[in-house]
Amino acid sequence: MRGETVVPGLEFQYLHDDGRARWTRVAAAPLRDADGEVSGVFAIAVDIDDLKRATERQSVLLAELQHRVRNIMSTIHALAWRTRAAC
């Protein structure tokens, strides 16, 4: 890392020794000495597994809701069409 940029956050799954996979976000920034030279790196790792799983679950629920709404709209459309044809 030469120090021109700050890594805003890389997300990946980390595999623990016991076989569990957890989502993790890692961000890093260069540390500079008095002369402005990069002397190290500051990094932070955050466990975002619960957030990722909740987001995935929300996406599944949203897709299910959209599917059900489309089915209801199709039913209403069919009823309206048949009612119109009967008149």
Report the pLDDT value the prediction gives residue 1, as an integer from 0 to 100.
45
d(CA 57, CA 60) in angstroms, rounded, equals 5
Which pTM does this prediction carry?
0.64
Per-residue pLDDT of the chain (87 residues; tens, 9 = 90+): 454 566 678 899 989 899 999 999 998 888 889 998 889 988 889 999 999 999 999 999 999 999 999 999 999 999 999 998 877
Asked if 19 contacts 8 with a C-beta cutoff of 8 angstroms, the reply is no
Report the pLDDT value the prediction gives residue 10, as an integer from 0 to 100.
87
Report the pLDDT value the prediction gives residue 7, as an integer from 0 to 100.
66
Q: What is the DSSP string of the chain?
A: --SS--EEEEEEEEE-TTS-EEEEEEEEEEEE-TTS-EEEEEEEEEE-HHHHHHHHHHHHHHHHHHHHHHHHHHHHHHHHHHHHHH-
Report the pLDDT value the prediction gives residue 8, as an integer from 0 to 100.
76
